[in-house]
A and B are shown apart, each in its own frame.
Chain A
Amino acid sequence: MNAESTASLIAVLRQAVLDGQAPAAAAATERALAAGVPPRTLVDGALIPAMDEAGRLFESGEFFVPELLVAARALKASQALITPLLAGSAVASAGRVAIGTVKGDMHDIGKNLVVALLQGGGFDVIDLGADVPPERFVAAVTTDRADIVGLSALLTTTMLQMRTTVQAIEQAGVRGAVKVMVGGAPVTQRFADEIGADGFADNAAAAVVLARRLMGRPA
C-alpha cells in the first residue's frame, strides 16, 4: 500500500464523519482497515480531525446541533469497528474526563454535545448523566481517577450546585488531583473564577480546547 492511498482512505473517512454519513463512515473504516491502515492512524488522522472540524464549524455558526449529532453518530459507527482493535494496546488517551449535569438539573443536551466532541477528540469520557450529586463527582476523582471533572448546569438555581461540588472535591482532599471545568447557559468566566474552577467554556468546541489545555497539551 502506498502513502497516497493511505492518505486518501483517511480523507474519505474524515469527510464521511464530518458529513454525518454513518454508513459511509463504517464502509470507509472497513476499507481502510482491510487495506492495512493501522487503527490508531485512523483515529489520529481521520476521527479526531473530523470531530475537531465539526466543533470548529459549530463554534463559527456553520454547524448547528443536528450536524453535531449526525457527526457523532458517524463517529460511533467508525469507532465500533476500530475500538476492538485498539483494546489492550498501550496507546494513551488524551485524558480522562468525568462529566455530568449537576444535582437537581436534568438538562443534558449541551453536556451531551461536549461528551460527543470530547470523545471525538480522543478523550476517555465517563458520562455521569444528569442530576449528579457532588459525592458522585468526588468518586469520579477518587475511584475513577478522572483527570478532569466537567460540570454543566442550565439554570441559575442549579448553577449554584457547582460551588457545592467544587467544595465537596476540596473537602475530600483531592482538589489538587483534578482539574474542574464548568459550562452552561448561565455560567460566566467570573462565576467560574468565584467558585475556584480551573476553566470555563461557553460552547462545546471550546470545552475540548479547554480540556486539552488543562491536560497541558496544545489546543
Chain B
Amino acid sequence: MTSRERVLTAMRRQEPDRPPFDLSFGFSTAWLDAFRARTGAEDPYDYFEADTRMVWPGATRLATDFSRYLGPLPPGTVVDEWGLAHVPTSSTESDHAHLEGYRHPMARLSSDTDAAEYPLPDIDADYRYEPVRAEIEALHRRGLAAMAMLECTIFERAWYLRSMERLLLDFTDGSAFATTLLDRITARRMVQAQQYARCGADVIAYGDDVGTQRGLLMSVPMWRAWLKPRLARTIAAAREVRPDVLAFYHSDGDVAAIIPDLIEIGIDILNPVQPECMDPAALKRAYGNRLSFWGTIGTQSTLPFGSPDDVRREVRSRIESVGAGGGLFLAPTHVIEPEVPLENIVAFVEAVKGGGR
C-alpha cells in the first residue's frame, strides 16, 4: 500500500496493512535542532516516512496595515495576515506557536460596524491555491496523502482577533458583533474549504479548540448556538465540490460531549483524542462504526516522560483497542516539545511500522 492508500483506507474504516501515522503538527525548534544534529537529516517527516504531509494556502499579496488596531508593539512582534500580533516572550522559539504571546486587534472594538469593517485576509483567493494544487499533485506522485490545513477554523480565529474572554462574553451577551465577525470568517472558510477540495486534498483538517481536560470550555448549548452551524456550513461547502473529501476535526481536551454532533455535521475523523482526558478504546466502542481516530499518543504524558518501552506499549495497546477494522491513525497528540527524547519518537515510528508487534 502507498501511504495515501493506507490513509484513505484506514480513515474510511477499512483494514489497512498497518495504521498510518504522522508526527502531528510540527516540532519545537529545540527538538528539531537536536533531531538534525543527531540524524544529519533535515525533515523528520521524510526521515521517518510519515504517511501525510500538511499543505497551506500560498502567501498573500495583501499588506494590510493593522497599526490602528494594535497600537505600539514590543520589538520582535510579528503581525500575521489576520492582524493578530505575535509577541515574543522570554522563551519564544521561532517555530513554536505555543510559546508566544498575543495582542488581539479587535479587543477594544465594540460596534457591529467595527466587526463588519475589520479587514480580513484574502485567505480564499484563487491565486493562493495555485501552489497548493501543484504541491498536492507532487505529494500524490510520491504516494503521500495531502492534509489541507484549515486549523483555527472559526472559534479560535475569532478569539485570536477578539481575545477569548471578550468573545465568550460576547457569546453570553448574544452580541451582534460576534455574529457579524463569525459570519464573515465562516464565509471565507467555506470558500477556502472548496478551494482545498478542488485542489485534490485527501483530508481537510478543520479545528477549533473547545475542550479543556475536564470537559468543554463552554456549554453544549452555547457551542451548538454559535459554532456548530458555522462548522457545518464549512464542511458542507467542501462536500459540494467533492463529496468524498475527508473531514478531520481537531480539538484539544475532552470533547466527548459533542462527538455525536460532530458526526452529524459530517466529521469523519476526530483528532487528537488526548489520552490524558479521553479514552480512545471507549470512544472506539461507542462511535467506531461512524468515526475514525487520529492521534491518541500523549505528548503530555508518555512521549515526554515515558521510556521507549512505554511508547511501544502505548502504540500496541492502541492498535489492539482502536485499530480493528481500520479507523486508527497514530500520531503524537500535538507539537513535539523539547523534552521529548528522540528515542521515544524512534520507538513510536518503529512500533507503528511493525504494526504494534
- One of B91, B169, B337 near A156 (C-beta < 8 A): B337
User: Which residues of A are found within 8 Å of B171, using beta-carbon distances?
Assistant: 66
- Inter-chain CA distance A66–B304, complex, in Å, is 32
Pair B217/A65 contact, Cβ less than 8 Å: yes
Pair B89/A65 contact, Cβ less than 8 Å: no
- Inter-chain CA distance A65–B214, complex, in Å, is 11
Pair A69/B168 contact, Cβ less than 8 Å: yes
Residue B299 at the chain A interface, CB threshold 8 Å: yes
User: Which residues of A are found within 8 Å of B215, using beta-carbon distances?
Assistant: 61, 64
Contact with B along A192-219 (1 / 0, CB 8 A): 0000000000110000000000000000
User: Which residues of B are found within 8 Å of A104, using beta-carbon distances?
Assistant: 89-91, 99
Pair A64/B213 contact, Cβ less than 8 Å: no
A 111-154 contacts with B by CB, 8 A: 112, 130-131, 133, 154
Residue A76 at the chain B interface, CB threshold 8 Å: no
Pair A106/B99 contact, Cβ less than 8 Å: yes
B67 CB to closest chain A CB (Å) equals: 22
* Given A66-B168, A157-B338: A106 in contact with B213 (beta carbons within 8 A): no
Pair A64/B216 contact, Cβ less than 8 Å: yes
- Inter-chain CA distance A160–B89, complex, in Å, is 16
Residue B260 at the chain A interface, CB threshold 8 Å: no
* Given A105-B99, A131-B101: A69 in contact with B222 (beta carbons within 8 A): no
Residue B285 at the chain A interface, CB threshold 8 Å: no
Residue B48 at the chain A interface, CB threshold 8 Å: no
Contact with B along A89-116 (1 / 0, CB 8 A): 0000000000000011110010010000
Contact with A along B111-135 (1 / 0, CB 8 A): 0000000000000000000000000
Residue B300 at the chain A interface, CB threshold 8 Å: yes
* Inter-chain CB contacts under 8 Å: number: 77
Pair A202/B214 contact, Cβ less than 8 Å: yes
Residue of A nearest to B213 (CB): A185
Contact with A along B253-274 (1 / 0, CB 8 A): 0000000000000000000000
B184 CB to closest chain A CB (Å) equals: 22
Contact with B along A155-183 (1 / 0, CB 8 A): 11110100000000000000000000000
Residue A33 at the chain B interface, CB threshold 8 Å: no
Chain A interface extent, by class: 20 to 34
- Inter-chain CA distance A112–B169, complex, in Å, is 14
Pair B218/A64 contact, Cβ less than 8 Å: yes
A103 CB to closest chain B CB (Å) equals: 5
Pair B339/A157 contact, Cβ less than 8 Å: yes
A68 CB to closest chain B CB (Å) equals: 9
Residue of A nearest to B216 (CB): A64
Pair A64/B219 contact, Cβ less than 8 Å: yes
Residue B102 at the chain A interface, CB threshold 8 Å: yes
Residue of A nearest to B89 (CB): A131
- Inter-chain CA distance A64–B215, complex, in Å, is 9
User: Which residues of A are found within 8 Å of B214, using beta-carbon distances?
Assistant: 61, 202-203
Pair A156/B101 contact, Cβ less than 8 Å: no
Residue A55 at the chain B interface, CB threshold 8 Å: no
* Given A64-B216, A64-B219, A70-B172: A106 in contact with B89 (beta carbons within 8 A): yes
Pair A155/B98 contact, Cβ less than 8 Å: yes
- Inter-chain CA distance A52–B171, complex, in Å, is 24
Residue A49 at the chain B interface, CB threshold 8 Å: no
User: Which residues of A are found within 8 Å of B213, using beta-carbon distances?
Assistant: 185
- One of A20, A67, A158 near B91 (C-beta < 8 A): A158
Besides A64-B218, A106-B89, A158-B91, 7 other A-B contacts (C-beta < 8 A): A66-B168, A66-B222, A106-B100, A109-B164, A157-B99, A157-B339, A158-B99
**What would be 9 A-B contacts, judged by CB atoms less than 8 Å apart?**
A64-B215, A65-B168, A66-B219, A70-B172, A104-B90, A104-B91, A109-B165, A157-B338, A160-B339
Residues of A in contact with B (beta carbons under 8 Å apart): 20, 61, 64-67, 69-70, 73, 103-106, 109, 112, 130-131, 133, 154-158, 160, 185-186, 202-203
